[in-house]
Structure formats: structure tokens, C-alpha cells
Structure 1
Amino acid sequence: MKNIILRNIENPNSHRIEEYIKAGGYFAIEHALNEMTPRDIIDDIKKSGLRGRGGAGFLTGTKWQFASLDPKFPKYIVCNADEGEPGTFKDRVILERNPHQLIEGMVIAAYALQSVRGYIYVRAEYPHVEKRLNDAIKEAYEKGFLGNDIMSKHFRFNLTVHRGAGAYICGEETALINSLEGRRGEPRIKPPFPVNAGAWAKPTIVNNVETFANIPYIIETSPKAYSFLGTKDSPGTKLFCVSGAVNKPGVYELPFGTPLREIIYDCCGGIRGGRALKGVIPGGLSTSILTPNDIDCPMDFANLAKHGSMLGSGAIIVLDDTMCIVKIYERAMRFFEHESCGKCTPCREGTSWMRTILGRIEDGMADMEDLAMLEDVALNVVGKTFCPLGDGAAHVLLSAMKRYRGEFEYHVKYKKCEVTDPSQRWGQLAMGELD
């Protein structure tokens, strides 16, 4: 299958504007400015069925339409490049290798909404990416694809890279906007939504890097051509970043609906060392774990929901039989506790309590009452937090306790891990990402 998002990626100089143009880049802008109205662009994005790639999966064209109908100006275009979800590294590939595809997508979005100002909010831990983006933006200005008179069409759009605050919570769109404005990175209450009252209280669209990278292909081909890919509910392709106990970890561009089993065993060469599969986290740490019985699930929004999980960022973390589920979620809860902004009590206190109880279980100091308390704390967090961070932390823990209950009970009863080979325990998974 021809790559859409990772096209020309094999070219070692794919990040340079000359190579991008040589491969057909910036044709979509020319087509949009010469032959389409802003309304035409929004209609095409709606017809394509493109859904946001940041995790929520909201229809991109609908979001753009909401912002376009708001009479307030100026309108802002914001790219969420704050890739902080543990296990996720797909956006980094676009930012490093195809930055002009992102820029082109943002310029088209700006034309559709008649926006004159955009920002790329890039993860603070990506300093090399920040430099590459700034270099690409400079090239785009020099070639007339950014600036005050883009392609001599009396359309202006200026783009700036903004370094993130180094906080996981800033991946949430309203916390990101707060940070962009120079405020503390905390989520805002919704409604109002950013499409009506975002940056500086003006209409703002916030889309993921991968979402914007799809835009040029849709404009230069057609919404129909795009919707032929993937599934009816989830058209197009998806970047899946696979890590953990597989032979060939990496980023793979595949049509939506590709079975998880095919990704693990065909694309990634199966489980490292020929060991048994124990479980899969399908969309980043904040998505519920799946058991080996679930891996025939097609990877799209609807089917993962039927299996009690989510597509999330498409970060697939593969676990083998040397890995301890209790330890994984003790580490995970440590991450969520550390990254909680502290704004709401259920998240601030709940993640701390869950981490503490899991620590007692992992250290062999817990009893069955602790298991009951852990479940009770998690249930008291679900649905009661200001943003999805605490809610997600509780959900994934409850899922793990339900699907691997025996392993939690073994820890409590025997004061040790069920994994039979302690020398192998935890060794196969690069969990530095979870710290």
C-alpha cells in the first residue's frame, strides 16, 4: 500500500523543502488556493471522514466547521505536537522526516478558516525536533508558502514553534492553550470549547500532528479516494508505533481495520525470543490492556471500543510472559501521579492512593482488603475528574484488575510475583518510557 503520511520517508533528505516539492509537496496548497473556496476545503475534509489522531477521534471537518461558523476573529490554528503519552513516538517521525507535510496541512487549514496565525506546540523533550521545525518553517517562508502574501494570492499565514511546558497534561487541548498563553498548564472547563473560545478567547482548532499530515493527500486526490482506505467508521491510514517485546519495533503506516494480530506477528515479526504473548496495551498507557484472546480485533475506533479499550494514539505496547502486570501498573500509576496537574481532588489524591496501594502489593505488604480498597479508590475516581488524566488512570487499572485478577491475588497471597523466572522479569520491556 502507498504511504500517505510517511510518503518519501525513505529519502534521507525528506525534511528539506526541495525534496518535498520534488516528491509532489505543496501541490495541495496550490490546488486549494487556485481552485477551492474555504467552504470547499471544509466540505472535502468532512466528506473524507478524517478523524483526529490525537486520541479522541473527533471528526476533523466538523471541528473546522464549528470554528468557521463562529463570527469572532482572529482564529488560531494550533498543532498539538506535545507527544507525551507513554509508548508514543509516531508524531516524532513526521516532525523529523516530513515537517513540510505538517506545515502544508496547517496552511490549508488556515486558508479554510481564514486564520492568519498558527502555532506548533512541540514537546519540550524534543529539542532536535524544535530545530528541524524552525528550519523547515524558515524554508517555507523563503519559498512563499508562509508569510504575508502566500503564493501571491493575498492570503497571509504566519507560523511559530512554541516549546511545551514539559508536562503530560499539556497534551490535553485546553491545558495546551493555557500553556500557549503563558499560563499554568491546567485544563479548562468545557464548554465553551476551543472552537469557540480557545487561545486568547478566540476560535481555535487544535489538531494532532498526524491529523494535519493527512490534509494534503485529501486535497490533492479527493475525499472519495481517501475514504476508500481503512473502514467506513475509520477511513484512511493510521500510524501505529509498536514497542515492547517484539522483534521489529517501530512505526508502521497501515489502513484502519488492520488486525492487531497482523501488526504484532506479520509487521513486527512476533514476540521476541519466541516467548508467549501476555497482553497488549493498544493505544498508549492510558488505554485498557487487552489479553491474547483479543488480538484478532481490527485496529479502529469502533472495534477497540467493543473490546473495552480505545485506539488512543495508536501506541501498541506488547507484553510477554516475563512481565509482571502488577509492576507495570505500579509504574504506570507513578507516572500518572507525577503528571497530575493537581487541579481536581479525585485525580490529585486518587492517583497517589492507587500508586501507594499498588506499591504495597508489589512489595508483598498487602492483604485482600488492599485489593478491595484499590478497586474502591479507582471507582471513586472514574467519571469525577476535571479532564481525562485521572479518569484514564483509574479505567486502565480497573481493566487490568479485571483481566488479570489472578495475578493481583497471587501477589497478595504469596507475597511475590507469579512470573516463574525472576531473572527474566520485566527485562524484555523498555519501560524507561513510563518513568
Structure 2
Amino acid sequence: MRIAMIGTGYVGLVSGACFSDFGHEVVCVDKDAGKIERLHQNIMPIYEPGLDQLVASNVKAGRLSFTTDVAEAVKGADAVFIAVGTPSRRGDGHADLSYVFAAAEEVARHLDRDAVLVTKSTVPVGTGDKVERIVRDTAPNLTIRVASNPEFLREGAAIEDFKRPDRVVCGVEDEGAREVLAQVYRPLSLNQSAPVVFTSRRTAEIIKYAANAFLATKITFINEIADLCEAAGADVQEVARGIGLDNRIGRKFLHAGPGYGGSCFPKDTLALLQSAEQCDVPLRIVEAVVSVNDGRKRAMGRKIIKAMGGEAAGKTVALLGLTFKPNTDDMRDSPAIAIVQALQDEGATVRACDPEGVEQASKMLTGVEFCEGAYETAKDADAVVIVTEWDAYRALDLKRIASLARNPLLVDLRNVYSHEEAAKAGLAYVGIGKASRPVGLPQTARAAS
């Protein structure tokens, strides 16, 4: 099939490359001429493991191409996917749909045949109805069926998620759209038993938001349980394992940390709340999740300051990791942003490193000294803080960290290490959801004291 992908951001580029790898002919279009030129040189606009190789192989095979010309991209297309940004509007949390609507109108103006127009961007419920009106008014002589096909891609594992998904959700309103999307995703049904779930268009739009809100709720829940564990002398990792073994709960997204961030959870929870408000349906749980998560990020800054004795002025804090999660360069709503601000507000000097995120972080953080790696960052620090659980920070020489730091303190916001490992290296240790212990005091001794 011939597919046009409008937008070469995270979702559009990964989806387009994977569709072409399925054997479809895919044209990706973007108005940013510089981005398209770099893609022609196989320079990726995002960091995603394996994406450059996937793009290069399919370009070489003639199945994947890039252009700035929408008319060229949609010519002869069986399906056109809209994968443009839907950022939160400043001030009210509504999803900004201007890019989606503009793309829909432009596609309708240039289509030369009947086709299916698919919103892959994350959009509030009812957006497909508005897109349908736009294309009907713009191209009344064509039959343009509008469908919803939300993405469920994890940054850092997007290619695997696309090719081996838990499910594919397709929201359609007629048999024609259903048949086209069934053909688009036919390679998945041939390779494995990934369910392709067909629903109404509005149902599909809600599924995306509901899924992300539920995962955000799990993260926020275990973060609050972590606070209780710290106060009560329990271990949140053991609690998470104990409840996660219940199949009704599951183990995923029960890793306590500094709060969720990224391109999806923050904006999608806000947009879901706005949709609920428009329908006059309160979503109190989601409201609490958003509020608690926002507060948690700055609370991590206070946690670091408390670990340093309650005083940050004149001290240096070394942050290991800046992106909201590993295996991405995405800094959007990363907990590191609020942590840096909280530390700087109290007079601390912040040094930081990240395997992939420094370029993006340097655009968002001021007054931060960026370093090459963990050991350079830790030199003369009053606290070394693990913010993002990159593999590069999972096997650190903790004795070297202790010798380089001015004050041998490790604040582990991802529970990568343990009290025992840190104590053995001569480091004081503060984790998430774990009772603090003095350096070198074994757990058994503490229990007996």
C-alpha cells in the first residue's frame, strides 16, 4: 500500500520507518526543510536506538522517502496518517489541535483520490468529528474516511513496540476505513497474534488518554507508597514486588522515582481532564495524579538538600542523568528540570551529565555546568544524584565516586544501588522509599539497635 505520513517527529518518523519495513511504500513529509535535508543524510532528529539503521535500510530499498511537498506525499496514497504535535496550550492544558486541523485541510486539498485519513497524533475525544468536517468542506467531491489510530510507543523501545505491540487500536466509522487499516496492519497478523482492536472513532481517542492516565496513576501511587515506606521503615522495592506479583496489578510501572515526565503523560493527563470538564464529568483521581506528580518533582530537590544537612548554598550537586527516562534525548517535563531549579533557588551549583540529553538540556537549563561523564561530574561534589537510570550509571565504581566527591553522599532517585553497596564504598546513601541508615551500619545492626 502507499502511505503518506504527515510529520517526522517521534511518532511520525518511527511509524513511517516501521510501515516501510513491513513492505509498504511510505512518504514522510515535514515543513521543516532542514529536518528533511538531514533525514536525506540519515541524520535523525531524535535519539531512538536502531532508528537510523531502520531508516537507512528502507530508504536504500526504495520503500521510504522524505519530502517537504504535501501534494507529492499524498499523491496516490491509500492512507494518510497525521502525526503532528498536539502540545498543551499555555495556561489551560487543552491540547493544541491547530497543527492537526491545518494538516487535515492541506491533505484534503491535495488528495487526488479517495483515501483514509488517520489521526495518529494523540487527540481529545471528538477530534475526528472535527477533522471529518474539515475534509468534507475542503474536498466535497472525494470520499475521505477519517479514522483514529493512536500510538502506544515507549521512547527508547519504540521500534520493538511498533513491530510487536500489545495491541493496535483502530477507531473507524465505516467498513471502508476498516478494510484499509486491516491491510495496513496485515503484516502484524501474519507474524504474530497481536490483536488489532476495531472500535468507534471516539472510543479509540479515549483509549489512548485512558491508558496513559492509568499508567501515570500507577507511577504516582507507588511514589506515594515510597514516601510512606521511608517514614515507616519499609522498603518500597519489596512492596512493589509483593503487590506486582498479583496478576490483577502487574509489575510494570511500579518503580518509585522522582515523578513522571516526557512528551505523553504530562500533556495527556491534562488534556483528559479538559475533555472531562467539557463533558461535565469530574475525574478526581486523575486530578490528584497531576497535582501529586507536579509537587513530587520539586520535592526531590528538597530531598537532596535535606540529605546534605538542610543547606544548599555554596554547595555543588552532581546530577547523573537529565532526560525523563533512559534511551532517549527527550527533556520534556523531565524531573531534572524542577530538581535543578529547586537546587539553584537555594544557592547550589549544579553540574550534570547525560549520555544523550545534554544538547536538549542545554536549551532548557541555565547556569548548569555540563560534563562528559559520571566521574568528571562527581568531582568535588557535595552530593552525587542519580536522576535517570541510564545503563552507564548502573555499574559505577562507587569507591571512585566516593574519592572524587567532596562529600561522600549518593542520592539515588532511581534505586539503582543499595545501602550495602554504597556503604561498602564509603558512601552515605539516600534512596527512594527506603529508610535511611548511617554509613557502614548493616541492616541487622540497625534492627537490633
Give TM-score, length-normalised by structure 1: 0.32
Give TM-score, length-normalised by structure 2: 0.31
> Which one has more relative contact order, counting CA pairs under 8 Å at least 6 apart?
1
If you compute each CA radius of gyration, which structure gives the higher value, 1 or 2?
2
